[in-house]
Amino acid sequence: MSRNSVLAAGAALLCTVLLSSCSVTKKMQEQLKELPFPAVDMAHVKDGTYTGTAETLLVQADVSVEIIGGHIRQIKILRHINGKGKKAETIVNTMKAANTWDVDCVSGATASSLVLKSATAQAIAKGAAE
């Protein structure tokens, strides 16, 4: 294979990877915008432990949320599939302290933060629906 053929093949491969990456990024952004965040008055959430799940193309999470007396007592991360978003897991402490899922995302881990917040919001909403 000539040098020009190798360079052309390498350039074609690079273009394919970049286009694929852009497609994944766009799909991920769309999925993050569609995550559900049900609004719930914590005073109406019954005591109990509730589970929630949120998923996107690259980040998935399952959480367990324990509510006692209208307060978040504990948030357990049961599953968190992430790329570089491991540091987002600290957000559960922030949500617990604020007694709400509606907190700022962890810098540098926005996608994982949003997925964890959505899973938590959905878990809490189950307690209000019962």
Digit-coded pLDDT (tens) for 33-79: 999 999 999 999 999 999 999 999 899 999 999 999 999 999 999 99
pLDDT in tens, 71-106: 999 999 999 998 777 899 999 999 999 999 999 999
Are 65 and 41 contacting, i.e. CB atoms less than 8 angstroms apart? Answer: no
> Is it the case that residue 16 has pLDDT exceeding 60?
no
pLDDT at 86: 87
Q: Which of 40, 36, 37 lies closest to 127 in space, CA to CA? A: 40
Average pLDDT of the segment spanning 5-24: 47
* Residue range 119-128: mean pLDDT, rounded: 96
Residue type, 18: L
CA dist 65 and 75 (Å) reads 5
Residue type, 14: L
